[in-house]
Chain A
Amino acid sequence: MATTVQPQTGTKPAASLSNEEILRYSRHLIMPEVGMDGQLKLKNAKVLLIGTGGLGAPLGLYLAAAGVGKLGLVDFDVVDFTNLQRQVTFGTSDVGKSKSEAARARLANLNPDIQIQSFETQLTSANALELFKDFDIIVDGTDNFPTRYLVNDACILLKKPNVYGSIFRFEGQATVFGMPDGPCYRCLYPEPPPPGLVPSCAEGGVLGVLPGIVGSIQAMETIKLILGRGDNLVGRLLLFDALGMKFRELKLRKNPNCPVCGTHPTITKLIDYYEFCGVRGEEAPGPTVQVPEITPRELKARLDRGDDLFILDVREPHEYQICNLKGHLLPLGELTRRVHELDSSREIVAHCRSGKRSAEAVDFLRKAGFRKILNLKGGILAWSDEVDPSVPKY
């Protein structure tokens, strides 16, 4: 059954479209499913996008193009060169600029008739309720567990729909949480996985088109909620497998014992989501385990001196193809099985991309009895910065 989301906030709703707007939205207006009524609903709707990255790109573009009257864009990040592969709101000239502001400028150019507000801030328990209260629908396009639980809880507390989408490598999930009688994110996943168990996009990679598809599904669900048309994804988890090009759906149920949306909620205000997810603030850069290290400059000096060093590269074969230090390739995941390939009497320098995986490798090898082993501090990225800029960074 279709559910309409009534605008809850703001001033007097717009009752008509200008001639220019009628021309712009003509392909909507001639559809009976949208028509003038629907287009006015879109014009009076207020949608807040959390994240303007991979999922936020198609979301922002399509919702602005469709004429959603007020769009809020929350993002504290700046545009990075590696974002351009999938975050199609941004151009090369936006690199280094604030994402929320660059997205605002792009969307304002796409549709000058709508109101776009950028919030260059990190969504926190302190500001979420205040930010959300002026919007009818919240769309979750974030990339981390603490923010997902925060968005969910804030939506439940304020009784606002939460249009959810999530991606990993070739797979995506989408649904609508936070509707009356519908489940919430905590009904689906009461707890997040411990940090480090599930790789992030930066570690796992993502095919650039995937967020485009999942974000477009979120945009479609948002528009259907505004129009009150069709069957939305409430109570259904849509799974998309891009490699197999298959869509499946699973039933989602409202958990009567859910700590936030159940019959006897125990979470009645926003909590510390970093603590809840076992992350203390920003993830600490560098290795997670303490191991003996060598800096790129020290390594270069020792190699130039002709020291007998065995370079161990613990990255994956496809990374070795991007760039390498002519080391012996032995991926971290295969280390336990292939440890016999290494000679513990030789001095070994292990490296990876950033120094994190190789720290784990050094830690493992030390426990396995290797004594002369060092971790290349900062990995191949630091080598490129400090020793040889001709080595590409990725």
Chain B
Amino acid sequence: MPVKVMIPSPLRPYAGKRDSAEFSARTVGEALGHLTAEFGDLRKHLFTEDGKLRSFVNVYVNDEDIRYLAKENTPTKDGDTISIIPSIAGGCI
């Protein structure tokens, strides 16, 4: 059972309108690498030009923020869910 990456709705237009994708990956970085290889348009939304994860995009493995684990080197195991949580501001005044 591979790792599931949840794609939030603001980013779905860049991911073929998919809400999730599954990859075999040993780390978060590897899974996101597979994701952006499959959906090239996602890359600039997730990573800076020098390949660092953007500061307004948070990534979780299950319910833990990877910033407090081993960041992109955080190990993943089969069945884990990786969530990408971008900031949204809407309240619709």
Q: Which residues of A contact B (CB under 8 A)?
A: 51-56, 75, 77, 83, 86-87, 99, 140-145, 148, 165-171, 173, 188-193, 197-201, 204, 206, 211, 237, 239, 244, 248-253, 333
Distance (whole angstroms) from the CB of B47 to the closest CB of chain A = 13
Q: B87 and A145: CB pair below 8 A?
A: yes
Contacts of B93 in A (CB 8 A): 51-54, 56, 75, 77, 99, 141-143
Q: Is B76 an interface residue (CB 8 A)?
A: no
Q: B91 and A56: CB pair below 8 A?
A: yes
Report the separation of the CA atoms of residues A165 and B89 in the bound assembly, to the nearest whole angstrom. 9
Contacts of A190 in B (CB 8 A): 55-56
Contacts of A56 in B (CB 8 A): 91, 93
Contacts of A197 in B (CB 8 A): 45
Contacts of B88 in A (CB 8 A): 166-168, 171, 173, 198
Q: Is B13 an interface residue (CB 8 A)?
A: yes
Q: B90 and A333: CB pair below 8 A?
A: no
Tell me the residues in window 1-48 of chain B with beta carbons closer than 8 Å to chain A beta carbons.
Answer: 8-10, 13, 19, 45
Q: A206 and B90: CB pair below 8 A?
A: yes
User: What 4 A-B pairs are tightest by C-beta distance, nearest first?
Assistant: A54-B92, A53-B93, A168-B88, A201-B92
Report the separation of the CA atoms of residues A206 and B92 in the bound assembly, to the nearest whole angstrom. 8
Q: Is B74 an interface residue (CB 8 A)?
A: no
Q: B92 and A237: CB pair below 8 A?
A: no
Q: A143 and B92: CB pair below 8 A?
A: yes
Distance (whole angstroms) from the CB of B42 to the closest CB of chain A = 12
Distance (whole angstroms) from the CB of A186 to the closest CB of chain B = 11
- Choose among A52, A86, A142 the residue that contacts B89 (Cβ–Cβ < 8 A): A142
Report the separation of the CA atoms of residues A206 and B83 in the bound assembly, to the nearest whole angstrom. 22
Report the separation of the CA atoms of residues A254 and B91 in the bound assembly, to the nearest whole angstrom. 24
Q: Is B64 an interface residue (CB 8 A)?
A: yes
Known: A170-B9, A333-B13. A191 touches B55 (CB 8 A): yes
Distance (whole angstroms) from the CB of B17 to the closest CB of chain A = 11
Q: Is B86 an interface residue (CB 8 A)?
A: yes
Contacts of A333 in B (CB 8 A): 13
Q: B63 and A144: CB pair below 8 A?
A: no
Contacts of A145 in B (CB 8 A): 87, 89
Contacts of B68 in A (CB 8 A): 253
Contacts of A252 in B (CB 8 A): 65
Q: B8 and A86: CB pair below 8 A?
A: no
- Choose among B13, B55, B83, B91 the residue that contacts A53 (Cβ–Cβ < 8 A): B91
Distance (whole angstroms) from the CB of B85 to the closest CB of chain A = 7
